[in-house]
Amino acid sequence: MNNKITRSNKIKKNLKYPTKRLFVILIAWVILFVLILGKIAYLQFIKGDELKQRKYSQTVESTTINAKRGTIYDSNGKVLAISANVNTITVNPEYLKYNVKNRKDESVVNAMKEKLATEFSELFELNYDEVLEKLNSTKSTETIVSKVEGDKIDEFKEWMTTNKITSGINIDDDTKRYYPYNNLASNLIGVCGTDNQGLDGVELQYDSLLKGTDGKITTSTSVSDEVIPDSDEEYIAPQNGSDIYLTIDSNVQSIAEKYLKQAVEENNCSRGGNVIIEDPTTGEILAMATYPDFDLNSPYEPNQTMINNGYNDLSDSEKNNQILAMWRNRAVLDTYEPGSTFKIITASTALEENITQTDVSGEFYCNGSQQVANLKIRCADSGGHGYQSLRQALENSCNPAFIQLGQKIGVSTFYKYIKNFGFLDKTGIDLPSEGTSNFWDEENIGPVELATMSFGQRFTITPMQLVKAASAIANDGVMVTPHVVKKIKNNDTGNTTSIETNVERQVISKDTAEKMKDMMKDVVEKGGGTYAKVEGYTIGGKTGTSEPDPNHPENGYVASFLAIAPVENTKLVILLTLYGPQGSSHYGGKIAAPAVSQILTEVLPYLNIPSNDSETTVSSNKVTVPNLTNKTVTEVKSTLSNLGINYSTKASDDEIVTDQMPKSRLNDCKRRNCRIIYK
């Protein structure tokens, strides 16, 4: 009986266990189900946007469509910088193995890569080992060659088809900057990098307008990188860059560069030179050049001057600094002591303040030097100029006379006009990184500082600052802002924006300006600027010769000449500056003035600026000037007469010629318009 009861209890107990197990399993499933629902809810509602974006980025391919960089033209519509369509080739090394049947056979894959490296190196003139290294790279993308023109790309595509290369190689559209005239206006136009980003000059200043905005195409792709037809495909068209029209006239620029180069080379100028030509009524820069220059199509290659000066022996960092220095537009960026060209500012100040007049006889006296405090400041003419008027002092470029004039003006008034003429501010020209002047603080000016400042030494300005100030004198006393861009054309809308003349202020009266221009005319006709004469035109000017900076004597002298042309109804202001001349002379009137004359002789007729002498006709015949040194004046006169060249000399017939202007290697000098001067 007890056994039966025991078995019965065991059976009942065993029947309860399956029920408990089922209950536990059910609870486990419920918990699992809740966890799954929670995970789904978390992924859907909390992480949904992030996962959707990750999925999109993995399955959507975005291709950039490069905008075409705007073209740069000169004032006549001649192309100075243009972008052409090219291609850039990149590879995805991992996907190259899909071009062979047996992807797991490394020898087959390697053979294919070697064959591809051979084609790349031979067709695009690349280093084989470097290309092969890129094809075996673990990076996702490697650039093989950039900015390749169409013919080679077509040839490579044909090779790919023949060799059944279908994946791992990308040929993308790109653009490349070209400069049809190589070195022309190189320091002004500036450099454009390989990514079509402006790095210097106009290319940098107007980069945001020139580069435009890139477009793109977004397309759905499969794991195997194949395009999936998708109604969500998006195309955003690129906005091409605007075109820039410069105020620069390429013909005037070419003339200015030609004679600047000749002047630098003839006078062995250790630090080169620069020249600026401006229309004083509008502020338009017609030419701006620095020499030595560089080839815009090879901006990272040193010019010949740098190579001659030991560029190849420099360290990499020194080479980089040299390249950046080569790009500098020194006419706008660098400062120098203007020397006697600054005397036109001193004279203008005195006339405007009625401190003196142009022709007060004997107002100034020069015995060859001027004592200022404990310092004796010498005149260029050690014998002295005696008693002079302001006009005569300007003609003679007499330092003692201008020291005396500076003392009459006084520090406060002088600084008022230095500020009014714009020397304490940047000019506002539309070029990057403009330099500015370095003057003493007004409260620190003593007798010596006032004296040296009155004739243009012991302070520095940029050439552009002097041209802007001189242009105000040439423009009846009205100052305008210089600029190098004439108009901007939006290629998408067709709209054109013209850059209007920006009148800043009246610096001096028209009466004072006319008096200054008349005195500057006499500097050329009677004074130290006679080498700047141009047949048929009245030219005004001022010579400049600044002594070496005591802190940097190795920089040498600075010779310059500032000119206005014609004096009546002035259309041009030109400043030519030569740094560190090491030839037979370092005086601006001797070496810079002749180059200015040569430039104006060609530029004035080209611009159809009427001659003051209607009876004067300039012959178009040209002749090479021979080497006339080491001959007697009698022999030289005979030679020049036979060539039909006018000449002038102060030497007697039996003296030996030691120098001439222009030099014998200056060719294309116009017949009956050459001036040969002997020492």
* Phi, psi of 628, rounded to the nearest 5 degrees: -110, 0
* Phi, psi of 84, rounded to the nearest 5 degrees: -115, 155
Residues 644, 674: Cα–Cα separation, whole Å: 9
Question: Are 596 and 541 a contacting pair, CB within 8 Å?
Answer: yes
Count of residues in the chain: 679
Question: Are 556 and 336 a contacting pair, CB within 8 Å?
Answer: no
Calculate ∠ Cα 375-378-381, nearest 5°. Answer: 170
| 452, two tokens | 């040296």
* Residue 340 appears among annotated catalytic residues: yes
Cα–Cα distances (Å) from 662 to 235, 596, 601, 638, 644, in that order, read 64, 12, 14, 18, 15
Q: How far, rounded to the nearest angstrom, does the alpha carbon of residue 576 sit from its chain's CA centroid?
A: 18
CB neighbour class for 627 (10 Å; exposed up to 12, middle 13-18, buried from 19):
exposed
Calculate ∠ Cα 362-586-577, nearest 5°. Answer: 95
**Beta-sheet strands, E only, within 200-266:** 215-220, 234-236, 243-246
CB neighbour class for 424 (10 Å; exposed up to 12, middle 13-18, buried from 19):
middle
AA identity, residue 101:
K
Cα–Cα distances (Å) from 490 to 66, 368, 497, in that order, read 17, 62, 8
Residues 2, 462: Cα–Cα separation, whole Å: 125
Residues 664, 192: Cα–Cα separation, whole Å: 39
Cα–Cα distances (Å) from 644 to 26, 597, 598, 654, 667, in that order, read 122, 19, 18, 22, 15
Within 10 A of 89 (CB to CB), how many other CB atoms are there? Answer: 20
Residues 536, 251: Cα–Cα separation, whole Å: 21
Residues 6, 128: Cα–Cα separation, whole Å: 93
Annotated catalytic residue within 340, 437, 454, 546:
340
Question: How do strand 669-670 and strand 273-278 relate by DSSP bridges?
Answer: unpaired
Number of H helices, E strands in the chain: 22, 23
| 54, two tokens | 């990750």
Question: Are 661 and 587 a contacting pair, CB within 8 Å?
Answer: no
Active-site residue numbers?
340
